[in-house]
């Protein structure tokens, strides 16, 4: 059976290095005191507790709690001076505790206020000494003056040092925030470059394959049509098979057309377009599809969205693709929200929000790659073409998704579109 530990490392970690210095200071004051009266020891113990233990209490780690602690230190210091000789007490330096604490935790006005209160707390003993007929000599006044001047000087220098540290901390925090933002931008840029490289490579491959496939597909189509004309009407099986060949060739040609559309450089026909009207037109056009799926489309358009120089036809197709995907991802009775707003940087944001199945973790970057799809009957070009259209307009597209909770597709379009070369 193991023996119980005599101490817990968590207890030691509760203390800071300066706490042991404070405890040594108050212990030394107690041992060095010639009087060692009960009141004096109680005041020293109270100051030690306030200085070491009170800041670790969660309820006092607030601005109000800090001010309460400062007031208590000031009061206890005043009482300690009072019970140890008043104006002649050697404990006048304990008033530096609230002064230093205020200088390091409060602003300029707060530090100045507590410094003034500490000076007043000490000077109060001067009229008290006069009241009890203690001789007020020039030497006494000179000593009191030096002690009082010492408090604001130390308080000011401490505040300057603390303020300098606070400025450096804020500057370091700002730099850390800038570095974090730059890192996020760099990661986004790297992801965009990787996606662009993949799109370019796959686009070139697609274009080559599409052109090579067009000729044999045309031959197959013509052969099937000739077969349908030459075969005897009684041979229904041959006619049916020729029809299958012709329809499948048409389907393959449609896919090839989409492949070429993806690989071909886009020629934008820009014109001033009302973004709200464009998105509203797309939502209206997909109203029947949404109704058939039992999905409701909510529209929320910001009135301050400016007109943008866009290719209206291409942008409509991109938004339509995103909205149709959101409808298909939603269950019956679901809601799809389409929103527009003007961002602070002058860009226009189009948000399409669904509460559907969401996108599996780790696939949010891949969904914009060509030929990547999670649909059993999908080709995987829809979102790739959407991404290409947005990129050609100088915009950005990103997705936020949580499996089981839905997805948000965000399209950012610059208010001033880049010049075309």
pLDDT for 1 beyond 50: no
Residue 109: partners with Cβ closer than 8 Å, 6 or more residues away: none
Nearest-10 Cα torsion for 98, 99, 105, 109 = 120
Q: How far apart are CA 31 and CA 399, in angstroms?
A: 68
Rounded distance, CA 23 to CA 43, Å? Answer: 14
Q: Is a pLDDT exceeding 70 seen at residue 167?
A: yes
Residue 339: pLDDT band (50, 70, 90) is very high
Instruction: Give the Cα separation of 209 and 105 in Å (integer).
Output: 71
How many angstroms separate the CA atoms of 335 and 297, rounded?
6
pLDDT at 264: 65
For residue 111, count CB atoms less than 10 angstroms from its CB and return exposed for 0-12, middle for 13-18, buried for 19 or more: buried
Q: Region 151-161: what's the mean pLDDT? A: 87
In this predicted model, what pLDDT tens digit does every residue of 174-228 receive, in sequence order? 899 899 888 888 887 787 777 667 666 766 776 677 667 777 877 887 887 787 7
| DSSP letters for 296-334 | EEEEEE-TTPPEEEE-HHHHHHHHHHHHHHHHHHSPTT-
More confident residue, 372 or 185: 185
Which DSSP string corresponds to 388-400?
A: HHHHHTT-EEEEE
Query: Where is mean pLDDT largest: 34-43, 114-123, 247-256?
Result: 114-123
Q: Name the band, by pLDDT with cuts 50, 70 and 90, for residue 371.
A: low
Structure confidence at residue 28 (pLDDT): 79
Q: What is the band of 418 on the pLDDT scale with cuts at 50, 70, 90?
A: very low
Task: Identify the bridge partners of residue 341 per DSSP, sorted by sequence position.
Answer: 349
**pLDDT above 70 (res 15):** no
Q: What gap in Å lies between CA 243 and CA 19, rounded to an integer?
A: 91
- Max alpha carbon distance in the chain (Å)? 139
Q: Quick one: pLDDT at residue 203?
A: 64
- Say how many C-beta atoms besides its own lie within 10 A of residue 133's C-beta: 7
Catalogue all structural domains in the chain, each as residue range(s) with its CATH number.
9-136 (no CATH), 194-263 (1.10.287), 271-413 (3.30.565.10)
Could you give the count of Cα atoms lying within 13 Å of 106 in the half-sphere of its Cβ?
24
Is 93's pLDDT higher than 80? Answer: yes
Cα 237 from chain centre? 65
The three-class DSSP label of residue 257 is helix
What is the arithmetic mean of pLDDT over 342-353? 90
Alpha carbons within 13 A on the beta-carbon side of 410: 13
215, two tokens: 């000729």
Question: What is the C-alpha to C-alpha distance for residues 334 and 104, in angstroms, rounded to an integer?
Answer: 56
Q: pLDDT of 62-76, one tens digit each?
A: 778 888 888 888 888
- Ordered alpha helix ranges (H), 231-265: 236-263
Strands 296-301 and 335-342: parallel
pLDDT at 413: 93
Dump pLDDT digits (tens) for 239-295. Answer: 787 777 888 887 777 777 766 666 666 678 889 999 999 999 999 988 888 889 899
**What mean pLDDT do residues 314-320 have?**
90
């Amino acid at each position: 059976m193991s023996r119980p530990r005599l101490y817990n490392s968590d207890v030691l970690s509760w203390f800071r290095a300066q706490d042991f210095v404070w405890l040594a200071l108050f212990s030394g004051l107690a041992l060095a005191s010639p009087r060692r009266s009960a009141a004096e020891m109680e005041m020293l113990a109270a100051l030690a507790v306030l200085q070491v233990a009170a800041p670790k209490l969660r309820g006092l780690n607030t601005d109000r709690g800090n001010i309460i602690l400062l007031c208590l230190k000031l009061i206890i210091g005043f009482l300690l001076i009072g019970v140890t000789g008043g104006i002649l007490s050697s404990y006048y330096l304990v008033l530096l505790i609230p002064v230093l604490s205020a200088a390091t935790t409060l602003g300029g006005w707060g530090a100045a206020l507590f410094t003034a209160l500490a000076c007043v707390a000490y000077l109060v003993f001067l009229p008290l000494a006069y009241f009890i007929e203690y001789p007020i000599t020039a030497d006494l006044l000179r000593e009191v003056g030096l002690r009082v001047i010492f408090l604001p000087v130390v308080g000011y220098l401490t505040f300057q040092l603390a303020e300098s540290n606070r400025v450096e901390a804020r500057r370091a925090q700002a730099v850390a925030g800038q570095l974090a933002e730059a890192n996020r931008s760099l990661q986004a840029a790297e992801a965009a470059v990787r996606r662009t490289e993949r799109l370019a490579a796959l686009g070139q491959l697609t274009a080559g394959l599409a052109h090579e496939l067009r000729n044999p597909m045309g031959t197959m189509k013509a052969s099937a049509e000739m077969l349908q004309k030459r075969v005897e009407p009684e041979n229904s099986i041959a006619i049916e098979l020729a029809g299958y060949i012709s329809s499948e060739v048409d389907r393959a040609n449609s896919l090839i057309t989409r492949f070429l559309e993806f690989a071909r450089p886009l020629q934008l026909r820009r014109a001033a377009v009302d973004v709200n009207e464009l998105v509203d037109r797309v939502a209206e056009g997909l109203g029947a599809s949404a109704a058939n799926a039992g999905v409701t489309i909510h529209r929320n358009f910001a009135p301050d969205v400016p007109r943008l120089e866009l290719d209206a036809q291409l942008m409509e197709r991109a938004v339509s693709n995103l909205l149709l995907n959101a409808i298909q991802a939603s269950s019956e009775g679901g809601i799809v929200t389409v929103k527009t707003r003007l961002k602070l940087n002058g860009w226009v944001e189009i948000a399409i929000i669904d509460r559907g199945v969401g996108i599996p973790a780790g696939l949010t970057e891949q969904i914009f790659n060509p030929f990547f799809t999670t649909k059993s009957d999908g080709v995987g070009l829809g979102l790739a073409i959407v991404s290409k259209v947005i990129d050609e307009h100088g915009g950005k597209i990103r997705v936020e998704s949580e499996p089981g909770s839905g997805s948000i597709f965000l399209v950012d379009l610059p208010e001033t579109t880049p010049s075309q070369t």
